[in-house]
Amino acid sequence: MSGFFDREGDRAYTRVYKAETPDILQAFTEFNGTVFAPEGREIPLKYRELIALAVGITTQCTYCIDAHSQAAVKAGASEAELAESAWVATAIRAGGGFAHGRLAFKLAEGAHAHV
């Protein structure tokens, strides 16, 4: 998917949102601005950005990884903090695979009886 990523050029496609759903785009922009406001939140911005980075890595959203890694550094995050955020995301994805593996075993119970 990252072969399609064009940091600058892809922003041009926001025009579709602006043309077709400007009210939703405005609401989203305001919401996102509130979530990532520099001040006035209990969780400091650096940590919110590191959380967003970990979520972006978990969901494998190239745009989120790009935006939130840069925003985290601008908010004071170190490379060590970026690395630990990436490992948190990795552990969550691995944990999901582990847990869903157990679900597969559960759902497969009794399959031999139908063969």
User: Average of pLDDT values for 75-102?
Assistant: 96
CATH number of 45-115: 1.20.1290.10
Q: How would residue 7 be classed by pLDDT, with cut points 50, 70 and 90?
A: confident
Domain boundaries, the chain: 1-35, 45-115
Q: What's the pTM value of the predicted model, to 2 decimals?
A: 0.84
pLDDT at 114 over 80: no
Q: Cα separations (Å) of 93 from 15, 52, 59, 72, 98?
A: 34, 15, 9, 21, 9
Q: What is the DSSP letter of 42?
A: S
pLDDT digits (tens, 9 = 90+) for 56-77: 999 999 999 999 999 999 999 9
Residue 86 to residue 79: CA distance in whole angstroms: 10
Burial class (CB in 10 A: 0-12, 13-18, 19+), 54: buried
pLDDT at 23 over 80: yes
